[in-house]
A and B are shown apart, each in its own frame.
Chain A
Amino acid sequence: MEAGILNEFRAIVGASGLITEREELSTYECDGLTMFRVLPLAVLLPTSTEQVQAIMRVCHREKIPFVARGSGTGLSGGALPVANGIVISLTRMNRILDVDLTNQRVIVEPGVMNLNVTARVASDGYFFAPDPSSQQVCSIGGNVAENSGGAHCLKYGFTTTHVLGLEVVLPDGSLVHLGGQTLDHPGYDLLGVFVGSEGTLGIATKVILRVMKKPEVIQVLLAAFNSTNEAGAAVSGIIAAGMLPAAIEMMDNLAIQAAEAAVHANYPNCGGLLLVELDGPAPEVETLMEEVADVCTKCGAWEIHVAQSDAERARVWKGRKAAFAAVGRISPAYIVQDGVIPRTALPQVMSEVVRLSSEVGLRVANVFHAGDGNLHPLVLYDDSVPGQDKLAEKLAGDILRLCIKAGGSITGEHGVGQEKKMFMAEMFAEPDLETMQLVRCAFDPENLSNPEKIFPRPRLCGERPGVYEPHPLEIAGVAERF
């Protein structure tokens, strides 16, 4: 990178906010998906919105692509740098700016860790609902970009439900406010479009969150089945009975073994384990918990246990949330996938997964957000065996194709990023992708903000100037033109 530009960057963020040494840069060469690595030209660590704007103005002027980065825990290569560009790390913008519990709003900078939001309001009985398993380390900015989910999103919705407003620096360095403290801002719901856009539309520098009151009672039930099919039937039974649990999670035997090895969650050794969490008014939870237990028994559960204390409940969840990392205990390497299927397709898709995995000769551990059909197949392989990584990649891809075929999606919460962009063309038709890119062209016509992600092919944003037609209000001198 030219010395002049580097000097300019240094003047913006200070010497301590600019990284150019190869050694230090390598920390930023990948996110949680380590199979893709690219060294950026520089990493900048701004501490304010103004600094982010100044950096992006330089990038815009010099046509330097940039990639925003939170904690780098993303699992789809979203924060993977581009070779001729810079990384803008938001970790130093980590202040909680305002807490207004009367109106259940919290305003944060993007580098705040997800769990720190709940930690800040917990003593008053509130929580921030989106709870990705990585919540101790992932940033709110990353959650916004990925529209992250978690076990409790079944009842409470994903990040997008809990983000009311954003301050965003657009790729040309200008500042806009999308949404706000109040609901239904007049105009297009660009807030809804930005959440989940994976850093391709600009950088969020402030986030207005909604926090919720903790339920009166929370109970979690564990049910052991012989197979994931039986457990899956129980999930359908619970939903058909008209219940909306806070969470329904499922693990297969391999995943249970891994979790046991890692955190001793005290799970029964079974073919399919269901965790069902209910929350709400005490008498309601009590009644419904009995119904859940009934459904599970009818579907073949041979052990049912309701966690009795907060400590036990925490242990149950720790096992589930540790499941990804825990797979490292039973396999040297693994690929995590994130496909989604309609819940009812579970038995059929699972048996296909079993067939594929035995054909290839690789094990697949399964952790699901079963309530909403979000599968997390973990394809286990040995990276010291030549060629096995390619086999694993192919198997993971074939599982995604099963999801598409079943009418589902290639990603439920991890994002498309670098990893799955080729699958976008299998899930969507060309006109769908072209139409999505119209949004991109409106926000980022120069294609500078996290380019090369989400879409299999970038779109050239040729100007499509509208014919100038003055609005009557304009003629009347009341409203300004656009």
Chain B
Amino acid sequence: MPAETGVTTHVSWPELAEIVGKEHLSAADTTDAIDGVAPQMVAEPGTDEDLARALRWAHGAGLKVAPRGGGTKLGWGNPPASCDLVLSTSRLNSCLEHAWADMTVIVEAGCRVGDLQKALAEHGQRLALDPLWPERATIGGILSTNDSGTLRVRYGSLRDLIIGITVALPDGTLAKSGGKVVKNVAGYDLAKLFTGALGTLGVIVQAIFRLHPLPRESRSLSFSGTLESLNQLLLTIQASKLTPTGLQLQAEQGSAQLDIRFDGTAAGIQAQVKQVQQIAGSVPGADAPASVWASHQAIWGGAVPALVSKFSVLPAQFAAVCAQVERVAEAQSLAWKVVGQSVGAGYARLEGNEQALRTALLTMRDQVARMGGTMVGLGCPVAVKRGLDVWGPPSDAQSLMVRVKQRFDPDRTLNPGRFLGGI
């Protein structure tokens, strides 16, 4: 992999040590590499200001910087064109203000999702999102990757929950947008811009979220059947007056199931369970353990080389996507599995050799695009990534996106090459 710059030989690292503290700057080891691209150093600043100063210093020194939270999703995206310094948010890990009566929280980017949820639960509240690997993933990380889970059906994704953000830009600017009130249209919504930007515009140092009450009671059911019948059931449920907080379709070779979750008062849940059983008709749903809602995470696990791609289609197209995945998998002799949420987004996992995975990704992506959807090779062995853009083909908004990147990070200091179309 050719490096973008060759400046890294004359770097004065002691200057950075001065900014972040000697004990918080260390030499990188192999575990710090991103898709095989090894940084030289890892810095862990202890305050927003220090992080901004460190970033500014790195930018001034012509270094390429990879921001890092829990490191759970560093493999997402294209391999970086170059990486000299990992800027870790691990010490920016406090929950700064839980205004429980206002149902908002101000939290630092390095706070782990699980830790935040624990603190919020003390007042019966939560961030209504169940992203991947909450015990390790940080707020900054889930924001930058726009991760979401099964609660999305009811509460939306991070863009619907974040109400304020503070970011550090490569020139050292610390900027805020939004605030700590739920309703606020003053100025541009930079929180949305930075959500899903994969750390290519700036480093998120703080976020403010609206919160929701923890459910009083919860009950889940699973239905089994053919893929087509379950997709139909999903649409019928969506068109009904039921208000599930989870509605998920799972499919693999020879089996499929639909999971549904109701939260609320005991009486409300009971009535809805009765209704959904009526809707389902001859094949009643069986009570399901809470662990069915970890399926979107379980699909990432496994020893053999695998490709986990994220797809997004219309809810009515689920069965069709699964059929495509199955066809492609069979053609390449790959094992497959799909877990999708009723909003139309999901993961498809394929297992097998790298050449086959690569062909499969390209074929599936084409087919999903023909359906009007998108497919991204998120969990992708490096060998599979070579020579392709995991994000898929750029849209007609690509040059606008590049202009945005150029305004925020004109010298491509941050995560160069990892994002769509080489951004």
Contact = CB atoms under 8 A, between A and B. Distances in A.
A184 B180 CA distance: 25
Most chain A beta-carbon contacts within 10 A, residue among B213, B376, B422, B423: B422
Given A471-B422, A475-B2, A479-B421, A281 B271 contact: yes
B239 interface: yes
Interface in A169-185: 170, 175-178, 180-185
A239 B25 CA distance: 45
Q: Which of the four size classes fits the interface of chain B?
A: 35 or more
B421 A427 contact: no
A325 B236 CA distance: 42
Nearest to B78: A473
Interface stretch (A36-44, A250-258, A351-359, A403-411): A403-411
A415 B265 contact: no
Contact of A466 (B103, B310, B411): B411
Interface string B383-420: 00001110110111111111111111111100011011
B243 A435 contact: no
Contacts of B197: 188-189
B161 to A, nearest CB: 10
A462 to B, nearest CB: 11
A475 B394 CA distance: 17
B240 interface: yes
B245 to A, nearest CB: 12
A474 B422 contact: yes
B183 A412 contact: yes
Nearest to B373: A182
B316 A196 contact: no
A442 interface: yes
Nearest to A287: B265
B142 to A, nearest CB: 14
A244 B195 CA distance: 25
Most chain B beta-carbon contacts within 10 A, residue among A158, A242, A341, A440: A242
A372 interface: yes
A382 interface: no
Interface in A269-287: 280-284, 286-287
Contacts of A236: 101
B354 interface: no
B181 A192 contact: no
B159 A189 contact: yes
A282 B397 contact: no
A374 interface: yes
B192 A193 contact: yes
Interface stretch (A3-11, A101-109, A301-309): A101-109
Contacts of A100: 314
B422 A424 contact: no
Contacts of B183: 149, 153, 158, 340, 369, 372-374, 409, 412-413
Contacts of B119: none
Contacts of B238: 104, 213
Interface in B104-131: 104, 124
Contacts, number: 309
Contacts of B316: 102-103
B28 interface: no
A170 B241 contact: no
Contacts of A197: 188
Interface in B274-325: 310, 312-316
Nearest to A443: B400
Interface in A382-438: 407-416, 420, 424, 427-429, 431-436, 438
Contacts of A183: 157, 312, 343-345
A102 B423 CA distance: 36
Q: Is the interface of B mostly helix, strand, loop or mixed?
A: loop
Interface stretch (B39-47, B86-94, B171-179, B219-227): B171-179
B402 to A, nearest CB: 4
Interface in B213-267: 213-214, 216, 235, 238-243, 264-265, 267
B374 interface: yes
Interface string A98-134: 0011111100000000000000000001000000000
A182 B344 contact: yes
A239 B103 contact: yes
A311 interface: no
Contacts of A161: 156, 160
Interface string B172-202: 0111110111111111111011011100010
Contacts of A181: 314, 372
A215 B186 contact: no
B243 A432 contact: no
A372 B173 contact: no
B135 interface: no
B272 interface: yes
Contacts of A333: none
A22 B404 CA distance: 40
A71 interface: no
A286 to B, nearest CB: 8
Contacts of A443: 400, 403
Interface string A37-76: 0000000000000000000000000000000000000000
Contacts of A239: 101, 103
B181 A466 contact: no
Contacts of B420: 186-187
Nearest to A369: B183
Contacts of A482: 398-399, 402, 421-423
Contact of B267 (A102, A103, A284): A284
Interface in B18-40: none
Interface of A: 100-105, 125, 146-147, 149, 153, 157-158, 160-161, 170, 175-178, 180-190, 192-193, 195-197, 213-216, 236, 239-240, 242-244, 280-284, 286-288, 340-344, 369, 372-374, 407-416, 420, 424, 427-429, 431-436, 438-443, 454, 464-467, 469, 471-476, 478-482
26 contacts: A102-B235, A161-B156, A170-B400, A182-B312, A182-B314, A183-B312, A184-B146, A184-B196, A187-B395, A188-B197, A192-B159, A192-B192, A193-B192, A281-B268, A284-B264, A342-B180, A369-B183, A412-B184, A432-B175, A432-B176, A432-B177, A436-B177, A469-B81, A469-B416, A473-B388, A482-B421
Given A176-B397, A465-B406, 14 more contacts: A102-B316, A160-B192, A178-B397, A187-B391, A187-B401, A188-B201, A281-B242, A342-B99, A344-B99, A373-B102, A416-B187, A429-B176, A469-B416, A472-B81
The 6 closest A-B pairs by CB, nearest first: A192-B192, A284-B268, A471-B422, A242-B213, A435-B175, A482-B402
